[in-house]
Amino acid sequence: MGLHLALFIFLASLCSTLSKHVEHGSIQVDGAQAIAEIDDNFICATMDWWPHDKCDYNYCSWGYASVTNLDLSHPLLTKAIQALKPLRIRIGGSLQDRVMYDVGSLKSPCHPFQKTEGELFGFSKGCLHMNRWDELNHFFNQTGAMLTFGLNALCGRNKVSETIWEGDWDPSNAKDLINYTISKRYKVDSWEFGNELSGKGIGASVDAAQYGKDLKNLKQTLNTLYQNSKFKPSLIAPGGFYEKEWFDKLLQASGSGTVDVLSHHIYNLGPGSDDESLENKILDPEYLSGVESIFRNVAESIQKNGPWSSAWVGEAGGAYNSGGRYVSNTFVDSFWYLDQLGIASKYNTKVYCRQTLIGGNYGLLNTTTFTPNPDYYRQVYALLWHQLMGKSVLAASNDASSPFLRTYAHCSKGRDGITLLLINFSNRNRFILTVGGGENVSSGINEDAKSIRVEKSFSYRLKRTFSWVGRKGSDITFREEYHLTAKDYNLRSQTMMLNGIPLELSNDGEIPTMTPVQSNVHSRISIAPLSIAFIVYPDFDAPACNGRKKH
């Protein structure tokens, strides 16, 4: 009763402060069958190579967060990753294809990255020393992280124009690194080949047929080196921006069974230079919907040309060039990010890697203090998505006349029922919602992006609600609610409120407990303006979720 009263008071205060308009509607969830499935470790974060003197728009946001110099002994870093266990970490980024590995038969000197005019991205080649590789692997083992490592795919090639590189890839340095890794019994879950070399490329590009040929070579090398190992890592490529013709050709050229994962990058918000423009895009659901065509086309490329592969988002930071200085590390950045997680899930995207764990303006952790930025609390499995959203994705839609309400549904993780993710982009509308089940719910994938319209009378909504909530004889009469808002209703705040309480580390650096409030399962849901909510129905009768408690 106390928790219910606390939620009532919290929502009432929000409504009186923010709400100018109330809109009633209903949510329909089809629990009969799943429309897609994500991996258990869907949530992923990246670590980048950028040195401290990487600057954008006259601001240097990376500090000492590079793969080569990040303080792995910092207790907050360890606690953050352990709280997300098992968190996938992808090591990669723009300078990935300029990294040499100081091992084996490497003939050339192995020096740190240095600013060098005329070189790719304005930096010289860099070096990964094996003592640092040892430190990284011990750290990942200690924290329980799963590692995806991006290999240098330009090694041995020749630059023939401003952006085009030709010639066969030289695998010798990569082979020595992999051999060393195996000899040390380090577990790299997957090796990724190249970074943003697809299509026109970002700074450099490689022809798809040549890329496919090199991937076949790398796959054969991995099969040979790991032939006596019980564990076989996956091969991921190309880690670039999706261009249909190039991606289709890559899958065709590399052949059946070569590419285990087709990875692509998304920075759909544009550059991080204009904070106002960035915030407007983030709060515009119509603009955010534009990214759906990318997920749809990637899925089609796999279906037609490489059904043995699965889709990953290997890197996504919203705004490129290190993100927006006053936006990407604040509460408002949550809206595009969670919306994109929901969209990606609907198209069978198995893994989604957020740029970055730490570094730049878009890091989940503050580069200087290592304390969590707002996105950390929603992005990471162990905190909300990981605790609540299971593998199976369900079709969900709403009949609100406003386009500012987003609705996503998954089978709940580790227990019966479903979990809803609701996002209210409106700065004036508060939504009062009932929830029902139905077989003809739009998935939003093969249909126009329009909500199913249902009869809006209160008696109809009430009938639909009571028709599915809870199984016969069930004692569960409550649902769990996690309402997320910005502190003081300031979208640029770096403090997030969970059910009206600030999310902050404890004095000894522990991640706060994510405690829900409980509401009567038959009552209507209230979603305040500019807020996000996870709603858990423990006894929603969804056949698609039966027997999925482990997921």
d(CA 68, CA 48): 9
Instruction: Identify the three-state secondary structure at position 133.
Output: helix
- The structure tokens listed for 349 are 């995207």
Q: Which amino acid is at 121?
A: F
The DSSP code sequence of 222-271 is HHHHTTT-S---EEEEEEEE--HHHHHHHHHHH-TTT-SEEEEEE-TT-B
Q: Is 117 exposed, middle or buried (0-12, 13-18, 19+ CB in 10 A)?
A: exposed
d(CA 392, CA 380): 18
The answer for 255, left when phi > 0, alpha when psi is -120 to 50, beta otherwise, is: left
d(CA 503, CA 43): 20
Q: Compute the Cα dihedral for 45, 51, 55, 59 and give only its sign.
A: positive
What residues are labeled active site?
196, 315
Which residues, at least 6 apart from 244, have a Cβ–Cβ distance to it below 8 Å? Answer: 297, 301
Instruction: Identify the three-state secondary structure at position 484.
Output: strand
Strand partners, 43: 352
The answer for 420, left when phi > 0, alpha when psi is -120 to 50, beta otherwise, is: beta
